[in-house]
Amino acid sequence: MTKARALDDQMDFDHVVRVHTDGTVTDALTVSAPELYDDELSSQDWQLMDGYSGQYGYSGPIMHASEFIGEGLARDILATPGLYVALVDYATLDGPDDDSVSGWAVAFREAD
């Protein structure tokens, strides 16, 4: 199994992982994931990774449902120590109770 595939398997939605300086990955069970609504994170401590989507004419942070944490994204995650989490992006249509999934993204935060 490639490192990219192993990372994709480990990074379930809302499951924060810690990447160490040697490229190993462990669960960060005591760290809470932010929420993602309308392409905006609920916490300023996190930032969205940008430029990895393969969608035609779009290279922003929101990935299509068919995309995954593959070679380029996984390579960059494993090369940069810190905290990472895959998040579902909800589009608020008519109010807080009417949410629709618009894609997903990976958020990064420096480790404490």
What are 18-71's pLDDT values in tens digits? 999 999 999 999 999 999 999 999 999 999 999 888 888 887 899 998 999 988
* Beta strand extents in 1-111 (DSSP E only): 17-19, 25-27, 36-37, 40-41, 47-48, 82-92, 99-109
Domain tally, the chain: 1
Helix (H) or strand (E) holding 3, with range, is helix 3-10
Domain range for 41:
3-109
Does residue 100 surpass a pLDDT of 60? yes
Q: What is the pLDDT of residue 9?
A: 85
Task: Flag whether the pTM goes above 0.85.
Answer: yes
